[in-house]
Every structure is written in C-alpha cells, then in structure tokens.
Structure 1
Amino acid sequence: MTIAVVGSINLDIVTRSPRLPKAGETLHGSSYATFLGGKGCNQAVAASRLGSTTHFIGRVGQDGFGQEALTQLASFGVSRQYVQIDEKTATGIAVIGVDANAENAITVIGGANMALDESDIQRALEPLQAADILLLQLEIPMAVCEGAARLAHNNGATVIFDPAPAPKEGLPDSLLGMIDIITPNESETYSLTGILPTNALEAEKAANALHDKGVKAAIIKLGAHGVFYSGYGTQGFVKPFKVEAIDSVAAGDCFNAGLAHSLDCAKAINSESFAEAVRYAAACGALATTKHGAAPAAPYAEEVHKLLG
C-alpha cells in the first residue's frame, strides 16, 4: 500500500505576536522562524512520519528558498525524486502570523506551485499509478488536481481531497465526481455548500449536500469543536482531543495524512475502518497543534497511539 501526494511545497515564514494585526495596523511581534511547509508537502511529511510509503509530486524554484525546502524535505525522509526544479518561477512561500491563542492568518504566494501542469503528472506516472491513496489540495492549479484525480480514480485508488483554499466559484462537478473523501473545515464547507456548520446537526446537513454533489464521503472539520463524518455506510462525530495547543498551522494537513495512513493500514475501507480512520486523523490534527511550524509539527505514530489510549 502506498500514498501519493500531489501538491504545494513552500518555505514558511512564521511570525508570532500577542494578537493578529487588524487592517492597516502594525504590531511588534515577539519572534519569527522559517519552516518547511505547503499543504502538499505537509501531508507527505506527516504520512511518511506515521509510517506510510509516500511519494510527493511538486515543484520548487531554482533559488535559495527552493534549495532550503529540498534540504528540509530530505531531512524528513521524503524522496525528492518527483519534485521538479522550475528555472522560471520562484519557490512558493507562506507568511504566517500566529497569535497567543494559537490562531493564525496566512498569506500564500504560490510561485512554482502554481506552475504545475500535466507534465508533472506524466513525470510521476509510476508512483501515481501504483498508489492506493491520493492526497490532493488546492494550492496548485485546479486542472492538475483534476488530472491527478482522474488518473487515480481510473486506477481504483482512493482520492482524498482537502478543498483548501476553497475557490469562491466552488468545485467543478467533474472533479467532485472523482473524489472519494472530501475534508473541508467550517469556512470551506460554507464556500462549497452555503452552510456554515457550528455543530454536528449543521455539519450533517452540509455532508448531505456534498453527497448530493457526488462525493462518496464527507468529513466536516469543526476545529476545536470536533469532527463530523459521513460515508461508507456510517456517520458519526468525534469529540476534540484535549491538548495544549500552541500553533494550529498544518493541523488540517496532519489530519488528512493521518486519515490516509489509517486507511492505508486498514487495507480496505468499510464503515468500521472509516470511522476508526477519522478518529485517528483527529488525533493527528490535535497533536499537530502542540508543536510549532508546519511540516515539523507532524506527529509520530507512537504519539498518536498514546493520545488514542
């Protein structure tokens, strides 16, 4: 069983201040640091750290940020074989503000991530065709997501899609029909369904709306309020795990990686394995908030098992 990830890789610049600035306001911060990030890269690092064989497909620029990103990627044990160095476009970056309550505001500059095209899929045909699970996000062009999803779907792989950042125009029906599991948070759910879920009942309505659009399974992430899931003949709610949160960056990415890893270990997706995978994923997301940074926040399997009890 293997996992393929097609997505973004960034160098993240993380700033810390007592609160996030308002429009037009300048604040004195307390510190800053640079980390490996990008939603695709975060998911690949997290899945690999949990123990799954993982292939990452992406791009960086031919610049200092790109070299730093590739060096850090290798340090996490993720192969750079299918990461192309783009000579024409700068490496993607994210500027992330984090406040004293671990809430964040993020500005992403896609750079080389937005230069991905069909050629990246063709270069990585071998791992994409061999993958049992494909992880996708939206920090790369929609057309690339569709192309990768179609390839995985036609090969019988499970497509797990994180619709972030959610496009205002929604997702094309052609893509929705190839998604096995979609994992929006509250704001992304609103963009996709017109329902802003604040509890399990509203999340169920949103999940049903996503089912109506052709998605097999929907997982509505409600942040500190828990997770609602529906699909594979079951639905339920996972209460939030109690942890000391210091940084919510990459929590959603670690959630999706944990979901993929658990399903990877289960070998077959049914009502029981799906419910167990959602709980495992929720634990991964919670643990990610206890560490600073994006990719470095990914939990290890033993940490997840300890939290799950």
Structure 2
Amino acid sequence: MLKYVPLTLTGRHAMPNPKPLILSFGSINIDVTARAARLPRPGETVHGESYAVMLGGKGSNQAAAAGRLAEGSGIQVALAGRIGQDSFGAQARRELERFGVDLSPLREDAANPTGVALIGIDGSGENCITVVGGANMAVDETDVEAAAQWLERTSVLLLQLEVPQKAVLAAARKARAAGAIVVLDPAPAPEQGLLDELWQEIDILTPNESETFQLTGIRPESADDAAKAANLLLAKGVKAVLVKMGSRGVFWHDGTQSGLCAPFSVQPVDTVAAGDCFNAGLAFALAQGQPLSKAVRIASACGALATTRHGAADAAPDWKTVETLMAAQPER
C-alpha cells in the first residue's frame, strides 16, 4: 500500500515563507484564434467569422488564471519559462503583467521565437489546436537553475508538458525537495508516456479524459472507470489523481480517500482554457491550505466558469465569481 501524504500545506509541505507562492513552470505562447461555424475537414478551407491574437500556452494560462484568482489574497504568482526576443514575446510580457504575474524567473531566448498556437473554434465551442513550440522547446535544466530561488520557496508548483520532460522533471525535483506541492497537468499526453523518474515527483496528476486514456488505456466514462484508471496511476508513484471527466465531473483519489465532484451547470461557449483554469484554481486552493476535496470543488468551479468566456487566459474567472457560482450551486 502506498504511504499516504496529506496534500495540505502542513508537514513536508509547510511553507517556509509567510507569503505563499504559486509558480508555473512551463510554456508561453501567443494564440492566434479563428472562429467559424464549423472546423474545416482535411484539405478544406472554411470562411471564418473573427480572429484574435491573445496570450496562450499552458504555463502562461495557468499563471494568468492563478494571478487573477490571487488578486488581493496575499498569494504571489510567478512564471518561469522562455519567450523569444520578438513582438510576440513582448506581447506575452504585457499580458502576463496585466494579470499580476511576477515575471522575474522568465528568460528571453535570442535563438528561438516565442511559441505560437493556431486555434480553430466552431460554433459549439469545440476546438482544434496546432502548437509551434519555439522557445518553449528549448527549455532545459539551465532554466531550472535560473529559477532556483523561486522553485525553492514555492508553495505549489504547476507543471505541464509543453516543454521538454527533462526540464519538467528537474523543476519538480527541486521544488518538491524544498517542500512544494507539485501538480502536473499531463497535457499534451506524450505517446511514449511519462519519464519513469517523473512519476515519483508528482503530488497531484490532473489528466482529462483523453489523457487518462493515453496514460492508462482506460476511457473514464464513469466514476468506476475513473477509479480503475486512478489506481493504475497511483501505483506508478503519484500521490493523488484527479480525473477530469467534463460533464460527468471530477473523480479524485489520494491513495486513501476518493470522491466524485459533481459538475457545475454552466452554458459553455469556448473550452480552450478550461483545464488550465482548473489547475490554477486547484493551486490557489492548495496555497490557501484547503484540503484536497475542497480544492477539487474550487478547481471545478474555475474550469466551468472558463468555458463561459472566449479566449484562453482572458477566460479565467476572479475569486468573487467563483464564490458566487459555488454558493448558487451547493455541493450535492
């Protein structure tokens, strides 16, 4: 049986600083988003209705969403990663600063451009995305060393897989050794799976339905399916698993306790940033010292609210809006 490690900011996860820090280590993109009644089929061109050029990338989306939630809370939010020395990089800086994100750990890369995501969204809110990683794909252990002071005082570390896994592993090791809670969004799920050493450095894994299938071979179409998948992932060494099942809610398992968080009822218009806002909400709750069960509910509310707005980072809700939704739809 796996040893239970309580996922609150006590014991090994005690915060060494009076001001909690959420650090996102990962990708920074600019999203070029086109909207059309439907997505094109292979080889087809469709006429779009509008387009926008906005902040994106899972690392920056999670940082921006956490920054908006944390405004006025006393919780600090920072971002580590790479941007290019180009106009998209300058835009990313401006946008992230608008969300209150500290960019001191962020590095500029003279040899590679800022990452770009080309996004198509249809009339029902479904999307398809092509990512050109640029500077994100050059992130390595030197970025971890450059952000060492931040990683060593982080309360919650947010990780994703839009930068090389070796850098993700190095960041997880450094932060976790200093007492941080390490949260990994396994997106995009790699075909070859996670590095063997990475499993042991993850406190909370947050796969969606497709990522769960990629990592376990199980499609989580019910709570029972999600429980089976979670057990497989726990056996690999992670301390807790949150299986995001969309309209079926979120199944969570921490090795000792488990539960199903019912979905919030909202009218979705755009699903692009739902997962990133979910993880930001999770980090914000954990940085406050909330137990995992309550943190999952807060995260679910954040993810649901993100689907009611267009855009990626701009879809992130503030804390007052999250509180209002949770009060209007009490836990069942």
TM superposition score category, shorter chain reference: over 0.9
The separation in 1 between residues aligned to 2:179 and 2:196, in whole angstroms, is 19
Choose from 11, 30, 36 the match for 1:11.
30
Choose from 186, 194, 198 the match for 1:171.
194
The separation in 2 between residues aligned to 1:200 and 1:27, in whole angstroms, is 39
Deviations 1:75-109 (A, max 9, x none): 22112212111110011000111111111111111
SS class of match (1:283): helix
The separation in 2 between residues aligned to 1:124 and 1:131, in whole angstroms, is 11
- Unaligned regions of 5+ residues in structure 1, if any? 268-272
Task: Name the aligned partner's letter for residue 101 of structure 1.
Answer: S
Give 1:282-293 correspondences, 5 Å limit. Answer: 282-293=300-311
SS class of match (1:130): coil
* Aligned residue in 2 for 1:242: 265
The separation in 2 between residues aligned to 1:203 and 1:45, in whole angstroms, is 29
Count the aligned residue pairs: 304
Task: Name the aligned partner's letter for residue 284 of structure 1.
Answer: C
* Aligned residue in 2 for 1:275: 293
Deviations 1:222-242 (A, max 9, x none): 122211111163211112111
Residues 1:232 and 1:132: Cα distance change in structure 2 (over 3 Å):
farther
* Aligned residue in 1 for 2:321: 303
- Pair 1:131-2:147 in alignment: no
The separation in 1 between residues aligned to 2:21 and 2:264, in whole angstroms, is 28
* Aligned residue in 2 for 1:35: 54
Tell me, yes or no, if the aligned pair for 1:234 and 1:275 is still in contact at 8 Å. Answer: no
- Pair 1:23-2:23 in alignment: no
Task: Name the aligned partner's letter for residue 118 of structure 1.
Answer: E
* Aligned residue in 2 for 1:91: 114
Tell me, yes or no, if the aligned pair for 1:163 and 1:184 is still in contact at 8 Å. Answer: yes
* Aligned residue in 1 for 2:227: 204
The separation in 1 between residues aligned to 2:97 and 2:23, in whole angstroms, is 16
SS class of match (1:101): coil
* Deviation >6 Å, runs of 4+: none
Tell me, yes or no, if the aligned pair for 2:77 and 2:100 is still in contact at 8 Å. Answer: no
SS class of match (2:305): helix
Task: Name the aligned partner's letter for residue 64 of structure 2.
Answer: V
The separation in 2 between residues aligned to 1:75 and 1:109, in whole angstroms, is 24
* Aligned residue in 1 for 2:7: none
Task: Name the aligned partner's letter for residue 277 of structure 2.
Answer: C
Tell me, yes or no, if the aligned pair for 1:232 and 1:274 is still in contact at 8 Å. Answer: no
Deviations 1:214-273 (A, max 9, x none): 111000011222111111632111121111111111110000010011011126xxxxx1
What is the deviation of 1:143? 0.6
* Aligned residue in 1 for 2:248: 225
What is the deviation of 1:33? 0.5
* Aligned residue in 2 for 1:270: none
- Pair 1:263-2:282 in alignment: no
SS class of match (1:74): helix
The separation in 1 between residues aligned to 2:79 and 2:92, in whole angstroms, is 13
SS class of match (1:210): helix
TM-score, normalization: structure 1? 0.96
- Unaligned regions of 5+ residues in structure 2, if any? 1-19, 328-332
The separation in 2 between residues aligned to 1:299 and 1:232, in whole angstroms, is 30
TM-score, normalization: structure 2? 0.90
Task: Name the aligned partner's letter for residue 52 of structure 2.
Answer: A
The separation in 2 between residues aligned to 1:152 and 1:80, in whole angstroms, is 18
Deviations 1:154-192 (A, max 9, x none): 112111000000000111220001101000011111111
What is the deviation of 1:4? 1.1
Tell me, yes or no, if the aligned pair for 1:138 and 1:145 is still in contact at 8 Å. Answer: yes
The separation in 1 between residues aligned to 2:264 and 2:117, in whole angstroms, is 28
Choose from 58, 70, 73 the match for 2:81.
58
Choose from 142, 147, 151 the match for 2:165.
142
Choose from 144, 149, 164 the match for 1:121.
144
The separation in 2 between residues aligned to 1:76 and 1:172, in whole angstroms, is 33
SS class of match (1:188): helix
The separation in 2 between residues aligned to 1:223 and 1:14, in whole angstroms, is 22
Give 1:69-108 correspondences, 5 Å limit. Answer: 69-108=92-131
The sequence identity of aligned pairs, in percent, is 53
